[in-house]
A and B are shown apart, each in its own frame.
Chain A
Amino acid sequence: MEQPNKITALLKREAGILLHHPIYIICMVVLPTLVTLFFTSLMNEGQPTDMPIGIVDNDNTAVTRKLTRMIDGFQSSHVVAHYPTIDDARKSIQRNEIYGFIYFPEHMTQDLLSARQPKMSIYYSNVSLTAGALLYKEMKTLCSLGSAAVGQSTLLAKGATKEQTTAFLQPITLDAHNVGNPWVSYNIYLSTMMMPTCLLLFVFLMTAYSLGTEIKFGTHKEWLQMAGNNFALALFTKLLPQTIVFLFTMAVGVVYMFGVLHFPAPGGLLHIIFLCTLSVIAAQGFAVFMFGLIPSLRMAMSMCSLWGVLSFSLIGTTYPIFAMDAPLQAITWLFPIRHYYIIYQLCVFNDYPLTDATPAIIALMCFAILPAFVIRRMKKAFYEFGYQP
């Protein structure tokens, strides 16, 4: 056969495999898209709002009731119950009914008005770190507001103007600039990382699966014959249709998140397209390399699973890499998703030039050319080894 005909025939064969075995479309398109929908709908609120908290009010005056109403009106907190004692409130946390509570001691109002500095307490559970952090912030704000209210009335009574009062009560203010995500939305922060991590996991698995099943079902001889025993050509035509399908899935995710949900991406579409294409190819390169190292379907897939699952942690989004032990910091270089995230964070999310992410881009390119190192070994595996369960 002539070269162009050969390529068309091989591509057709691969397209046939992708279309005729439902597992391919399920794992390459359906499941990754479902994961994107899952995370974006789960965190649709952006930040968890109206989380249940309790009140232990031993004072029960107009002041404590006002504070209760204030915290109830805040964004994250919602007062769901009053408890007679701290013990009851604590038990309620253990039963998962509330995430925190506020304690007003007896005579609090009286002590406040007679300048005896009463002490209220805020209890919050960090077992869910997200809930704990948000509730802590709001409860702390409530306490400062309580103090400020007293100071304000004293100053106003002494004849100070409104401006003087504000300047006295809060001499230094912070202007927060939450660059790129002013809403501190967890959806923008996490979904944009979950989608690619999950997709690259499927790239790992499907690449190894599609290579290994050729051996498992004994179709590899026919496949290599079609390529005129040109292994590189066979490999290329096998991976290309998969690259296209994965890029399609990625495009669906990108359009949904940045187009429909309007997640900010100041870096622009070109950076996104460059990043997605490069990382899909890099992940394929990595998976082929794994398969070349251990040319057994099961072992290659197990290694790819290990890599794919660890990617969720070693991407460094939720727990930053620099806070991990030094050897782990080095290991993260071996994960394509880590480089994806560096480029995304710098060039898409924060709109820096691609040159700032040069090391990460080079690393992804290295992953992409990894198959070149194992191609001889793989060839041997396909011609000589059989299927190993």
Chain B
Amino acid sequence: MNSDTSHKQVSFTFLTIMFQELKAILKDEGVLLFFLFLPIGYPLLYSWIYNNEVVREVPVALVDNSHSSLSRTFVEKLDASPDVCVAYKCADMLEAQSLIGHSKAYGIIYIPADFDRNIGRLQQAHVSVYCDMSYMLTYKAIFGAATAVALDMGADIQKKLLGNKTDREDQISTSPLAYEEVPIFNTTSGYGNFILPGVLVLIIQQAILLGVGMIAGTEREKGFANYAGKKDGSKLMQAIGMLGGKAMAYALIFSVMLAWITLAVPHIFGFVSMVHGKDLFLFLTPYLLACIFFAITFSEMVRYRESVMLIVVFTSVPLLFMSGVSWPQSNIPAVWQGVATLFPSSFGIRGFLRMSSMGALLPDVATEFKALWIQVAVYASTALFVVWRRVKMGCNV
């Protein structure tokens, strides 16, 4: 009977504290900015930035010293490719270089004077491609298109020399071993589809870190007076109630935000989303809990309400890289692999990315799923310790 009433009391404090916390959040403009505006607005902004997905019609400058019908064919084919646009025809390399210097072109195609003569003499002809390496996507576009054109024209030249009777013979002799290219996931090589799932999941963690950190900073400025409960009650029970209530309030807000970010945003912008509802729900639960408990633990580092921004904001890009989105996970040095395990975002991004872009199911992301639950356990205990200390400090005020 006795244990039953104490149980009731705890759940009662849970709800009271949850409502108190929600009220406090609603009154604090700064926290609202992080809890509502950031997770709602940022995904839209980022989706807009990467909405076009691919780089098309990269302007290049042409220096054609061959002035032959073959060199013109090369240029026409290059210009016809979707990735490159031959925007300038220059008299010499100096002129072409100055176009790069004025950011009007991102590469130079140089066709030497002996281009068609070499082909006529059955010698290898050369085409030089100069790329501005300060943009990796334009380099890939220019070099990829030029390679394709060189291969295509090469095959035509071969066919003429071979003098085969049928088309089939031509096909076989120019490419005896055919091959099919299958970009199995993210089939369009889209930049948005590649970077956004990671960014979206990261936004949740950063928003929670910022908001919870700001709340803790404000509370610290007031000496954690709001943590003080009844004088006679156990401090540990009080701390459990406090932690549970706060976590519930945050979970309530961010489960909505997670749904918005993982389901609505990809739908609105037409990003690839192959998630399975139940698996996604099961996976995001530990992610959300890990983020919340991690944020409460982390908030111990925040002295004033505003200083949270100083330590959280810059971490976004390093955390994104640690998850293995840009730089493949297999090639991240061991030290940073280790550091990455400290953050829920590393596992959250890896798991969500594979679920949404590759249609992976829960068993496929088992490693990440387990790691997140371990984080939940570890950070829940550290968070409890943090809150327990605050309860003690609050009682002393």
Contacts and interface: CB of A to CB of B under 8 A. Distances in A.
Interface of A: 23, 27, 31, 35, 38-39, 41-45, 48-52, 90-91, 93-96, 99-100, 108, 112, 115-133, 136, 140, 143-144, 146-147, 150-151, 163-164, 166-181, 184, 186, 189, 194, 197-198, 201-202, 205-206, 209, 212-213, 216, 297-298, 301-302, 305, 308-310, 312-314, 316-320, 323-325, 328, 341-342, 344-346, 349-350, 352-353, 356, 389
3 closest residue pairs by CB, A with B: A126-B186, A181-B133, A352-B101
B283 interface: no
Nearest to B34: A302
B136 A318 contact: yes
Given A146-B177, A314-B49, A320-B138, A356 B358 contact: no
B290 interface: no
B11 interface: no
A325 B331 contact: no
A198 B185 CA distance: 32
Q: How many B residues touch the partner, as a band?
A: 35 or more
Contact of B52 (A143, A169, A178, A325): A325
Contacts of B173: 151
Q: Main SS of the interface on chain A?
A: helix
Contact of A172 (B28, B154, B353): B154
Contacts of A186: 136, 327
Contacts of A324: 49, 51-52
A205 B316 CA distance: 15
A328 B307 CA distance: 30
Contact of B101 (A27, A298, A350): A350
A174 B147 contact: yes
A130 B326 contact: yes
A179 B123 contact: no
A51 B131 contact: no
24 contacts: A31-B311, A94-B359, A96-B350, A117-B178, A119-B180, A121-B180, A125-B185, A136-B183, A143-B177, A172-B150, A172-B153, A174-B129, A174-B146, A178-B131, A178-B139, A180-B134, A189-B133, A198-B317, A205-B310, A206-B310, A209-B306, A216-B304, A305-B313, A342-B103
Interface stretch (B187-195, B245-253, B254-262): B187-195
Contacts of A117: 171-172, 175-178
A389 B30 contact: yes
A349 B313 CA distance: 28
Given A35-B314, A173-B124, A120 B364 contact: no
Contacts of A175: 126-129
Interface string B71-89: 0001000000000000000
Contacts of A179: 130-133
Interface in B136-168: 136-140, 143, 146-147, 150-151, 153-154, 157-158, 161
A119 B178 contact: yes
Nearest to B134: A345
